[in-house]
Amino acid sequence: MLIKTLNNGFIHPASSEITTERLYRERRNLIKLMASGAAGAAMASWAGREAMAQELARPGKNPALPGRKSPVAGAVTMDKLTDYKDASGYNNFYEFGTDKADPAKNAGSLVTSPWTVEVEGLVKKPAKYAIEDLLKLSAQEERIYRLRCVEGWSMVIPWVGYSVAELIKKVEPLGSAKYVEFITLADPKTMPFVGSRVLEWPYTEALRMDEAMHPLAMLAFGMYGETMPKQNGAPLRLVVPWKYGFKSGKSIVKIRFTDKEPKTSWNKSAPQEYGFYSNVNPNVDHPRWSQASERRIGEDGLFAKKRKTLMFNGYEAQVGQLYAGMDLKKFF
């Protein structure tokens, strides 16, 4: 059915939505195979080609930042990627405003070069790293992670970076170091909402040492094959896929190793709502809404159903042992 618009006509498909002849023929062949009962291998091959196509597509907005295929177990989900436009235009970065579109509108003022990250605290080798040195510290990998926001929406994003553990091993933590703190830049000159009463600044997040050392915990320098957009946390950010998105601090300038559990920004702001761990858990509701399901950004059609939220955001097989024996309702 064609839908009439105010622009003198109808909604026509964009060129990107038109099926090419090659794709049309491949789909026809797949339908024939399905009819003959020989579709299993064909489906796997088709999914592989589709996944490869979506992985290789670059938006052309920032300089290229290629990453090798990650050898880390669980590092590549087969879920459909979120469109770059949504991933870069709908997010939370309160230093630039509280509306989902504010970071994309306001983050242009962020200065990302020069950029240094200071590593301090309970380590044998404290250091200050230039962003160029961090980019070369370990091989860049592409990892396709699910991202689940505590607000009940989710995305699937191809990040580029490497495990936080690579940096941790470099600085050699002392035996007394039990936690790792990640501190975001707080510059009111370039971040217009720093100083607002929304949160206490600078934005601070933290992980237990074994969480930070888990290979899925990632320092990300880019996404979609390019350097990180400013509104998504350039030039580097934390990505912890089994936790709610606010645990993944953006635009990091300091990493601190401590022996005591740090007070994190949202935990200080509303401790009854945001615990230190903040693992994705469909069985523990937020005090003001259910966490049992989620809205996948990009699946917003009239008949789109919410997805069931997975324990640890679908990474239970990889990280569940970190919390063995813990009361996850108490330590939320």
Q: What's the average model confidence in pLDDT over 195-202? A: 94
pLDDT single digits (tens) 9-42: 333 334 333 334 344 344 444 444 444 444 444 4
**Given pLDDT bands bounded at 50, 70 and 90, which one contains residue 57?**
confident
49 and 80, same domain (yes or no) = no
25 and 168, same domain (yes or no) = no
Which residue range(s) make up the domain with 25?
13-53
C-alpha distances in Å from residue 275, one per residue of 119, 175, 290, 328, 329: 25, 25, 16, 10, 10
274 and 236, same domain (yes or no) = yes
Is residue 332 domain-resident?
no
Residue 198 has pLDDT above 60, yes or no: yes
In the three-class reduction of DSSP (H, G, I as helix; E, B as strand; rest coil), residue 234 is classed as coil
**Given pLDDT bands bounded at 50, 70 and 90, which one contains residue 1?**
very low
pTM of the predicted model, to two decimals?
0.84
Is residue 102 domain-resident?
yes
The terminus-to-terminus CA distance of the chain in angstroms comes to 48
Q: What's the average model confidence in pLDDT over 170-177? A: 98
Among the ranges given (37-46, 62-71, 215-224, 285-294), the one the predictor scored with the smallest mean pLDDT: 37-46
Can you state the percent helix, strand and coil of the chain, rounding each to 5? 30, 25, 45
pLDDT at 322: 98
Burial 54-89 (b: 16+ CB within 10 A, else e): ebeeeeeebeebebeebeeebbbbebebbbbeebbb
Nearest 5°: phi and psi at 94? Answer: -65, -15
Q: What's the average model confidence in pLDDT over 163-190? A: 98
pLDDT at 58: 87
91 and 189, same domain (yes or no) = yes
Q: What is the DSSP secondary structure assignment for residue 8, as one 8-state letter? A: T
The CATH number of residue 151's host domain is 3.90.420.10
